[in-house]
Amino acid sequence: MSVEEHRKTSPKHVDCWVITVSDTRGSKEDKSGDLIVEKLETAGHCIKGRNWVKDEDEEIHKALDDVIDARAIFLTGGTGLTRRDITWKVIESYCDEPLPAFAVIFAQLSYQQVGSAAVLSRAIAGIKRSRGQLIVALPGSSRACALAVDEILIPELAHLVGHLNK
């Protein structure tokens, strides 16, 4: 079956959840989380929930475990190089299977925007097969989130989730 045929049989909308990982951002100052929600809803996807957690392994794990009614989970924050940036590591251990092409494509697109500073991001995506969920960790930068959502995730989200059902 071709990519076009797969896309035709993919769900029309995906139930999504957004988690912001930050020691400083909350619901009132979360530009990146707001942007992800807005773009997903504009594309016809449903936001089932949203929450904010600290850069702590246990908090991120609990937040992921608590999401039972979404097929795609988007995290923003915690993919940089500081010692507190652990989201990428939690996602790497939480997922059953990685989606390494996401990081490669995101790095290529980021390089076009910010040059060699693209190496500072550890954006990552994977599958939690046992729960049928796609999990994507994006940088905390609104610009980086917009790039990933517009150029990769919205075009492929339904297609990705459609494959999780097979």
* DSSP designation for 152: I
Q: Which two tokens stand for residue 163?
A: 């494959």
For the chain, give the mean pLDDT. Answer: 92
Give yes or no for residue 52 having a pLDDT over 90. yes
CATH of domain 3-164: 3.40.980.10
What are the backbone angles phi and psi of residue 73, rounded to the nearest 5°?
A: -120, 130
Q: Report the largest interatomic distance among the alpha carbons of the chain, rounded to a whole angstrom.
A: 46
Query: Which pLDDT value is given to residue 10?
Result: 64
**In the chain, domain spans:** 3-164
Give yes or no for residue 69 having a pLDDT over 80. yes
Residue 54 identity: K
Query: Which pLDDT value is given to residue 29?
Result: 83
**Spatial distance between the Cα atoms of 163 and 166, rounded to a whole number of angstroms:** 5
